[in-house]
Amino acid sequence: MAPGGFFGRALVVDVRGTRATGTPLELDDRVLRSYLGGVGLGTWLMHRLAPPRVDPLAPAAPLAFVFSALVGTPLTTSAKFAVVAKSPLTGLLTDALASSQFAISGKLTGHDAIVVRGRAEELSVLLVDGGEVRLEPAPELAGLPAAEAETAVKERFGRGWRTAAIGPAGERGVRFATISHDGRHAGRGGLGAVLGGKNIKAVLVRAAARVRVADQAGVLAAARDLRERSFGPATAKYRELGTLANLLAFNAVSTLPTRNFTAATFEGAPALAAEELHELRGVARNSCASCSIGCEHIYSRKGGGSQRMEYENVFALGPLCGVSDPDDVFAASARCDELGIDTISAGGTVAWAMECAERGLIDEPWLRFGDGSALLRALDAIGAREPGLGELLAHGSRRAAEAVGQGSIAFAPQVKGLELPGYEPRTLQAMALGLAVNARGADHNRSGAYEADLSGALDRLEGGVAHVAAAVDTEDRAAVMDSMILCKFLRGVFEDPFPEWARLLGLVTGWDLDGGELRVAARRIVRAKRAFNLREGATAADDTLPARMLETPLELGSGRSAALTADRLRSMVAGYYVARGLDEDGRVDPADLADLLLEA
Amino acid sequence: MGRPKAALEWHGSSLLYRATAVLARTVDGPVVVVAAPGQELPELPAGVAVVQDPVEGRGPMQGLAVGLTAVADRARGAFVCSTDLPFLHPAFVRRVLRELTDGVDVVLPVARGFRQPLAAAYRTSLAGLVARLLAEGDLRPGMIFQHCAVTRLEDEDLLADGAVARLDPALDSVLNVNTPDDYAAARERELPEVTVECFGALARGGGHRPRGVRAATIGAAAHAVGLTLDRHIVAAVNGDQVTRDDRLPLVAGDSVAFLSADAGG
């Protein structure tokens, strides 16, 4: 019998021509306990199902929707799912989380994961109804935004289905296209392009099963307690202002990436600040399913309508592109949602192009920092893969820089091909390490080392041994939260996280586990991601930052400068390898491979 | 004074704490305190190093030799000051250091009518010269200047810098404390005017908008806006280090940001 909270099987769906067939893949207790679910289990599935060196956009490349033991329980913030695949942007493993009812219904199809392979003959939707799968042609959905596609399939197939869909950019293979559900996005790494590569516009799931938990009363009591704690000070920021609260604070501490990382403060920040917008234009606050925090803050748009705004989309489409008019940023954010593209990669790639244009490296004289109209025009060109600039930028900043040459790779804001989030590495040097070594590429959700930088506990301007420890620890915590799965906005309510998480997981699964076992699982998951990347050709040379970050110091308001040299970063990376038990080239010790349970 | 100057209380810490913390937030390189043999030092800010002077009774020249030697492998130039400068301003330090260009060995302010060898910038390569002069029995700092290239900065040179003119117009940076009356007068001075901003969940009711307060330390600035630094609340001065150290000294013109320790995510 499967442990509580699990079904003990994945559904592997093979799409070919006009048909889809589903095959169960048994997931034994050892695999589930070793990888926990979510991102961890998805990583294991990629090892098992992705052919080595497969083209991420090829039919053979698998895409996994992965659930977890906690999904469907009353534990707050647990209605989340992971989407895992080989990224068309990085060529390495990518995983993204999204929230809401798709997670619950997807799991209650009776599977801990749904893996999709193959390619449909024409644009189609894939329906998973319990153990039954079928493919339905849907050419009428071509070109629709994901939200409109969701509405259309609801009308066509009736109620009871939950839908994850892609926008037009995913259909066209934009390498940073997203998969969306209910206004939430599995955003990073181009998962929408992977689904688009299968000619699948949407995946629909319908619940058909129930799942048992080991200790129903215990889970209910824990859920009540966690819900109560979720109303406390540790989540106040998310409730009161949302993640956009970061913007003005980051500006004040010189870590708001501006104009393609040429500065860390932005004179236009106050106009984009949550503190201002909340007073002037805040209209609503929403929650994901099964969430008691309610972090989504909705703002009114000039001319009507509203838009959900988060720090990352405002940073990327605002300061990073030098744009300070909130209506331009709102419009750009809405355009990204309509096209179905990752706002961070979109903003980063356009910001790089703006700098190229200003330096005369590309012949697009209209593309200038600070021009909101130019930003929108560039986004449209990307979404349509218009010949010229659109086609160039649709591949992300790394590939675009490789095409443009002329030294532009030095300021392409990416690691491993994934564009940097809104955390300036030179003024957050624990985070700099986290960004450099993370398997997904430059990422703030799989490595939260900025917490240490902003805690006041270490010197954020001079990375060293303490920063390595912080990067490892936050990466471990992220690995567990993303696998079991709980929203990271809840992280502050756990005083002693690993033992507390172990208790929650034990109540659901029936496993007798402790915090130590979860720490081991975290390290295993991180190692398994790295092992996958190594298999796909990654090397230690990928664990770095753009040359700009390592060669150009930033001037601070204090008169001091923030410098992160290549030597310092290399030293921290070396320390990270030691802490992770890797060899000096960042490779997994062969003795550890058996622990990863990768043998078929 | 009756007590070691370094340990004199200064807004919740000590004169030495203030001097070293001001330097640490001003320069990019290391900050080193030279301790006399057997000298007990008050608590120092995190990251400030102590080197022991092995020889007693040879005055500031000996301290200069030890200090320059201690940082010579990490810095080409150093700002050198005594512990009893309660109004030392970063703008003054930066002005002096900026003059330490190629070919210049010492930048010597001549401020408020006096040479200020203990509020001056020195090439760390002078360590050998200073040691030689000491070995020859020369204990006066002024002797160094006869053997190297010195740039003097008069009041008008210092005040030509906009930041110094605005933030330290009377050149109080070089005002030292030699008597109990000096100390008492210094403590009576009006506190520096700084700007405070609060962010995120700390910014309820428009609190993110800049406010002017008078405060000598971050802790006092926090108190002025109803906050206490703890594991949930941190601060940064002028966009620099994030800190929970409520004793960190403030100077006129500072901008202090208070933010939740869970910023990010």
* Inside any domain, residue B81: yes
Nearest 10 degrees: CA dihedral of A187, A549, A569, A529?
Answer: 20
Name the CA radius of gyration of chain A, rounded: 22
pLDDT per residue as tens digits for the range B141-175: 788 999 999 999 999 999 999 999 999 999 999 99
Q: Judge: B201–A246 Cβ closer than 8 Å, yes or no.
A: no
pLDDT at B260 over 90: no
Residues B146 and B127 in one domain: yes
Chain A neighbors of B243, CB-CB under 8 A: 456
Same domain, B102 and B223: no
- Residues B113 and B233 occupy one common structural domain: no
CA distance A362 to A87: 27
pLDDT tier for residue B1 given thresholds of 50, 70 and 90: low
In chain B, how many domains are there?
Answer: 2
Residue B265 belongs to a domain: no
Tell me, yes or no, whether B16 and B117 share the same domain: yes
Are residues A376 and A383 in contact, defined by beta-carbon separation less than 8 angstroms? no
- CA distance to A457, B110, B111, per residue, from B115 (Å): 40, 4, 6
Q: Structure tokens of A35? A: 């990888």
Examine the domain organization and report whether B83 and B116 are in the same domain.
Answer: yes
**pTM for the whole structure:** 0.94
Summary count for chain B: helices (H), strands (E):
8, 14
* Residue B60 maps to a domain: yes
pLDDT confidence of residue A4: 97
Q: What is the DSSP letter of A420?
A: P
Asked if residue B97 and residue B224 are part of one domain, the reply reads: no
B80 domain residue, yes or no:
yes
Single out the residue in B142, B162, B183 at which a domain terminates. B183
CATH of residue B232:
3.10.20.30
The mean per-residue pLDDT over the stretch B49-65 comes to 88
Per the CB < 8 Å rule, is A560 touching B28?
yes
pLDDT digits (tens, 9 = 90+) for A186-207: 999 999 999 999 999 999 999 9
Nearest to B259 among A249, A491, A556 (CB): A249
* Shared-domain flag, residues B68 and B153: yes
CB contact under 8 A, B239 and A248: no
Give ipTM to 2 decimals.
0.88
- Asked whether residue B31 falls in the same domain as residue B116, the answer is yes
Residues on chain B touching A252 (C-beta within 8 angstroms): 197, 199, 236, 239, 255, 257, 259
Residue range B14-39, pLDDT digits in tens = 999 999 999 999 998 999 999 988 88
Which pLDDT score, from 0 to 100, does residue A345 have?
Answer: 98
**Do residues B170 and B228 share a domain?**
no
Cβ atoms of A543 and A573 closer than 8 Å: yes
Which of A243, A454, A488, A565 to mutate: most B Cβ within 10 Å?
A: A454
Chain B residues near residue A264 by CB distance under 8 angstroms: 239
Residue of A nearest to B23 (CA): A560
In a domain, B240, yes or no: yes
Is it the case that residue A103 has pLDDT exceeding 90?
yes
Q: Rounded to a whole number, what is the distance in Å from the CA of B226 to chain A's nearest CA?
A: 17
What is each CA distance from A341 to A111, A178, A321, A434, in whole angstroms?
A: 28, 5, 16, 24
Where does the pLDDT of residue A282 fall: very low under 50, low under 70, confident under 90, or very high at 90 and above? confident
Give mean pLDDT, residues A107-114: 98
Q: How far is A245 from chain B (nearest CA, A)?
A: 5
Q: Considering the domain boundaries, does residue B149 fall inside one?
A: yes
The whole-number pLDDT of residue B265 equals 65
> Containing domain of residue B196, as a range?
191-260
What pLDDT digit, counting tens, does each position of A122-154 carry? Answer: 999 999 999 899 999 999 999 999 999 999 999
Q: Of B119, B152, B183, at which residue does a domain stop?
A: B183
User: What CATH number does the domain containing B37 carry?
Assistant: 3.90.550.10
Question: CB within 8 A of A187, min separation 6: which ones?
Answer: A96, A98, A178, A342, A343, A344
Query: Are B196 and B168 part of one and the same domain?
Result: no
Beta partners for residue A298, in sequence order: A284, A308
Instruction: Write the residue in B25, B28, B242 that is nearest to A456 by C-beta.
Output: B242
Say if B177 falls within a structural domain: yes
Answer whether A178's CB lies under 8 Å from A341's CB.
yes
**The last residue of a domain, from among B155, B183, B211:** B183
- The rounded distance, in Å, linking the Cα atoms of A196 and A189 is 13
Beta bridge partners of A115: A12, A64
B173 and B201 in a single domain? The answer is no
Q: What residue ranges define each of the domains in chain A, with the CATH number in brackets?
A: 9-206 (3.60.9.10), 238-419 (1.10.569.10), 425-596 (1.10.599.10)
